[in-house]
Copies of this chain bind each other. A is one copy, B any other.
Amino acid sequence: MPTPLIALDWGTTRARAFLVGEDGAVLGKRVADRGIQSVPSGGFPAAFAQIAGEFRQARPDAAVLLAGMVGSRNGWVEAPYVACPASPDEIAAAGLAVTLDDGTRATILPGLSCDEGAFDVMRGEETLIVGLGLTDGVACLPGTHSKWAEVKGGRITRFASFMTGEIYGLLREHSILSRLATEPVGDDAAEGARRGLAAAQRPGGLLNAAFHARSDVLGGRMQGGAVGPYLSALLVAQEIEGARALFGDLANLHLVADGVLAGSYGRALAAAGLDHGLTTPEDAFVAGVTRLARGLAA
């Protein structure tokens, strides 16, 4: 018999908490600046109560699932990675029990590891990927460290991380290009994106194309406001080409994004000739914890 769920996507800097009804509807949500790096050792039960205590009071019968960095070495308790390929039931079965401050049991979901070609790990994204409900396909989760994952026969078979968001931030804010970059105005965003996608097709690669932001501005060929959009489009296009090289033709591709990232990845995927479905991270998370809770109950 399904029960309501209290589910947290508990990351390094932030926690997102959801109260999910028996029918899968989101009854409440909260975002708190109570990432695991702000929680002292032994302070997790109290931090949980602070983040989601009102959900507990509203639905004391709810099962509690915690996903993300809360299961890392610096989190509540370290939940060992489950090695790919992994099914939703295998992920759920590896959940670790912890005890809330009122004695109730909660489950910390494990992350995944992948050792195909190169070693890689994720924590939290596995829940969103499960939430897509794919039988066969590829999921793209953009972010500071984007993740791409392959699903076959309902199992996550392998995945890869890309430092796209972080390298964008370094180039935009801390490199020689940051001195030339200004806030986009007028056509800057569209022009920068167009140039960045085109630059990704040239043969010199990322290290060469990034420098062109500088020479194009100094040469009067691009506005300073286009530098950020140029770098973003260039990096996203490079990520997509890397993922295509790793995962093949990317048929049945699903993008998990909203806001600015949904736009920039959507444009870059279209430029690469790739159709894709779009799901918001919140919808994917809620569907994922709902599915994994069934695995726990089984």
Contact = CB atoms under 8 A, between A and B. Distances in A.
A29 B38 CA distance: 55
A242 B208 contact: yes
B162 A120 contact: no
A145 interface: yes
This chain: copies in complex: 2
Interface stretch (A1-9, A169-177, A182-190, A264-272): A169-177
Given A170-B170, A171-B170, A219-B113, A208 B162 contact: yes
A72 B161 CA distance: 41
A215 B175 contact: no
A160 interface: yes
Contacts of A126: none
A210 B161 CA distance: 9
Main secondary structure of the interface of A (DSSP, over half): helix
Contacts of A212: 118-120
A235 interface: yes
A238 interface: yes
Given A119-B221, A121-B215, A207 B170 contact: no
Interface size bracket, A side? 35 or more
Given A212-B120, A216-B119, A245 B174 contact: no
A97 interface: no
Contacts of A208: 118, 160-163, 239, 242, 246
10 closest A-B pairs by beta carbon, nearest first, are A205-B242, A203-B245, A162-B207, A161-B211, A204-B242, A170-B170, A119-B219, A163-B210, A118-B212, A163-B211
Given A204-B245, A207-B239, 18 more contacts: A118-B202, A118-B215, A119-B212, A119-B215, A119-B216, A120-B212, A145-B176, A146-B207, A161-B208, A161-B211, A161-B215, A162-B205, A166-B175, A170-B175, A203-B246, A204-B242, A206-B206, A206-B207
